[in-house]
């Protein structure tokens, strides 16, 4: 099954609201083994929504639309879908009864415009919304394809998706077509995305299932290996040999998997080896200490830290030799080493870390440009 997502709302195009719905929907579809090739955003314009629905209908078996189901005149998703397939809107008495019941529970009168939410494209089925007034809509088309319309409010969308849409997809996939799309993420540091791509390009090019996709993060690169299989164990079986190939070439730069950042891996290593650490920072202003202590159990390995921007602080707190500072400057490998040794002795730890550099925007020179860091 191929699905396509359409996110409706001018607020999405203006950047006023961050689209979290498409990420959630994509994840849930992947878990069901449904292929997703296109995700689109469109403003609250009836004609453009209808055009996009027609395009999606040519490419996908299932179209899921988020947003535009509210009670106001700029909520136009149902009208646009009806236009796309030459349908009229018809009152759904079951949907109207549910909306009326919702307001009754709240002890509030129902506005006349809320009745608009009970009108569906002819032949559509209302999907119960336990979290709000806008019912979802399932429209099954004569060619066997389907359009599902969901409210844009995330809590409402998720409720209808879990209660109604996922069971519908599972029923329509059939046992013989059921699958999962499973990903495993490898994390690397010390090489840029282009360098890693050059090293493993032949492996990436040779893959069809699983596929490999590199993407850069903050100070690191991740390789995502994605397989489609009957179940998770089969997907892992497909991923394993590809993972071995990648690590055979990139092992010196590999540090972990999935959502575990470098600080979590470092914390686990320090705890397992019963090592303690102290940190001296110049240009990072405490950021390294923040990262190391932002992990549960950090008091078991992190003892203390010092932010020593001035030469006087480097000398007074860390015991850096003034002559070393005069000869090599604060931003030098010699001073970084002295800072690390000084903070280790000061804290009585197994390991001392230090960083010094020129963060900018000013202060750089030809010999020591902005961005130069010693660690």
Q: Does residue 357 surpass a pLDDT of 90?
A: yes
- Domains of the chain in sequence order: 2-177 (3.40.980.10), 180-257 (3.30.70.2860), 262-374 (3.90.950.20)
pLDDT for position 158: 97
pLDDT for position 301: 97
Q: Which tens digits make up the pLDDT trace of 289-312?
A: 999 999 999 999 999 999 999 999
- Indicate the pLDDT class of residue 175, thresholds 50, 70 and 90: low
CA atoms within 13 A on the CB side of 358: 18
The first and second tokens of residue 196, run together, are 């890693």
Question: Could you give the CA distance from residue 74 to residue 183 in angstroms, rounded to a whole number?
Answer: 39
Q: Does residue 98 surpass a pLDDT of 70?
A: yes
Q: Does residue 360 surpass a pLDDT of 70?
A: yes
Entry pTM: 0.70
Nearest to 222 by CA among 197, 198, 188: 188
Q: Is 256 helix (H, G, I), strand (E, B) or coil?
A: strand
Contacts of 29-33 with C-beta under 8 Å, sequence gap 24+, read 29/3, 29/169, 29/181, 30/180, 30/181, 30/182, 30/183, 31/180, 31/181, 32/166, 32/169, 32/170, 32/173, 32/178, 32/179, 32/180, 33/1, 33/173, 33/177, 33/178, 33/179, 33/180, 33/181, 33/228
Running DSSP on this structure, what letter comes out for residue 211? Answer: E
Contact partners, residue 179, CB within 8 Å, separation at least 6: 32, 33, 228, 229, 230
Give whole-number Cα distances, 262 to 217, 234, 352, in Å.
12, 29, 18
Average pLDDT, rounded, for the chain: 94
Question: Could you give the CA distance from residue 360 to residue 364 in angstroms, rounded to a whole number?
Answer: 7
What is the mean pLDDT of the segment spanning 114-121? 93
Q: Which tens digits make up the pLDDT trace of 123-140?
A: 999 999 999 889 999 999
pLDDT for position 48: 98
User: 342 versus 104: which is more confidently predicted?
Assistant: 342
pLDDT for position 174: 65
């Amino acid at each position: 099954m191929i699905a396509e997502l359409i996110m409706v709302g001018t607020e999405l195009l203006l950047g006023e609201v961050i689209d979290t719905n498409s990420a959630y929907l994509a994840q849930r579809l992947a878990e069901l083994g449904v292929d997703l090739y296109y995700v689109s955003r469109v403003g609250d314009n009836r004609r453009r929504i209808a055009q996009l629905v027609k395009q999606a209908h040519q490419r996908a078996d299932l179209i899921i639309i988020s947003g535009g189901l509210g009670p106001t005149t700029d909520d136009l998703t149902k009208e646009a879908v009806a236009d796309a397939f030459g349908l009229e809107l018809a009152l759904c008495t079951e949907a109207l009864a549910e909306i009326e019941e919702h307001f009754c529970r709240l002890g509030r009168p129902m506005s006349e415009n809320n009745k608009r939410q009970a009108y569906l494209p002819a032949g559509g089925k209302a999907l119960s919304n336990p979290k709000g007034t806008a019912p979802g809509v399932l429209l099954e088309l004569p060619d066997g394809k389907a359009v599902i319309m969901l409210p844009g409010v995330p809590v409402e969308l998720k409720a209808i998706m879990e209660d109604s849409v996922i069971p519908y997809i599972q029923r329509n996939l059939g046992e013989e077509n059921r699958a999962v799309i499973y990903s495993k993420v490898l994390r690397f540091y010390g090489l840029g995305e282009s360098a890693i791509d050059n090293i493993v390009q032949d492996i990436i090019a040779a893959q069809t299932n699983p596929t490999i996709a590199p993407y850069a993060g903050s100070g690191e690169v991740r390789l995502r290996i994605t397989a489609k299989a009957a179940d998770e164990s089969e997907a892992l079986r497909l991923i394993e040999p590809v993972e071995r190939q990648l690590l055979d070439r990139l092992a010196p730069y590999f540090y972990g998997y999935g959502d575990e950042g470098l600080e979590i891996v470092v914390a686990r290593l320090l705890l397992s080896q019963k090592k303690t650490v102290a940190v001296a920072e110049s240009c990072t202003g405490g950021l390294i200490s923040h990262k190391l202590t932002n992990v549960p159990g950090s008091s078991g390995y992190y003892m203390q830290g010092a932010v020593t921007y001035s030469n006087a602080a480097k000398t007074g707190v860390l015991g850096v030799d003034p002559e070393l500072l005069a000869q090599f400057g604060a931003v030098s490998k010699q001073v970084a080493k002295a800072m690390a040794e000084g903070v280790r002795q000061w804290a009585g730890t197994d390991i001392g870390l230090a960083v010094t550099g020129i963060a900018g925007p000013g202060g750089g020179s030809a010999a020591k440009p902005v961005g130069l860091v010693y660690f």
